[in-house]
Chains A and B, each alone.
Chain A
Amino acid sequence: TQLLEQSPQFLSIQEGENLTVYCNSSSVFSSLQWYRQEPGEGPVLLVTVVTGGEVKKLKRLTFQFGDARKDSSLHITAAQPGDTGLYLCAGGGNTNAGKSTFGDGTTLTVKP
């Protein structure tokens, strides 16, 4: 069974600070997704990384896939209250993203 561990579980910061959250596994994933989920809503896909060492940027968010494709990180620069939410990583084969294994997420609170 492939497991994904996310850390920290909870993170509370002030607006303008930087932060990094992590997603680690002992298994190799051929692709990894990051989602953000807000209360009362379903997860929304932020990015998919597929190549070891890959770095993708989405405005103030930077995603990195580990060289061995076992871990990933999400870095947010100058966090804003609108970044508040549950950040989930999910690993799935390239052949079937619908059968993804999710971590338990990092709950981020950005205080104004």
Chain B
Amino acid sequence: ETGVTQSPTHLIKTRGQQVTLRCSSQSGHNTVSWYQQALGQGPQFIFQYYREEENGRGNFPPRFSGLQFPNYSSELNVNALELDDSALYLCASSPSYNSPLHFGNGTRLTVT
């Protein structure tokens, strides 16, 4: 059984640029949630996708957007990057929206 995999593991971008982060869900999982974890803080919920539809969103601006594909893999897109967007971005999948989360190891994004 393959776990949740995220790519890339590390990324450096310049303020104002756009970035796409990718997540491959664990086999059989149809729900994916994205979290942002700033240094020294706990993860903050960005949004969730269930069967390719957005199923809830946290307190993040519209420049954070996402997609879920028919194979349940997912993307997180961030436009107009700001310095405060520097963080570890975590993807978590689950068999359904009310099941425990399985996290990937994250993508470390640095915005300079």
Cβ A95 vs Cβ B97 within 8 A: yes
Known A45-B100, A48-B100, A104-B40; judge A97-B105 contact (CB<8 A). no
Cβ B98 vs Cβ A96 within 8 A: yes
A23 to chain B, nearest CB (A): 11
Known A98-B33, A98-B48; judge A104-B103 contact (CB<8 A). no
Q: How many residues on A have C-beta within 8 angstroms of the other chain's C-beta atoms?
A: 24
Residue B92 lies at the interface, judged by CB distance under 8 Å to chain A = yes
Chain B residues near A88: list those with CB within 8 A.
42-43
Residue B87 lies at the interface, judged by CB distance under 8 Å to chain A = no
Q: B56 — nearest CB in chain A belongs to which residue? A: A99
Cβ A102 vs Cβ B103 within 8 A: no
Instruction: Mark B residues whose CB is within 8 Å of A.
Output: 4, 31-33, 35, 40-45, 48, 55-56, 58, 90, 92, 94, 97-106
Instruction: Mark A residues whose CB is within 8 Å of B.
Output: 4, 6, 33, 40-45, 48, 88, 90, 94-105
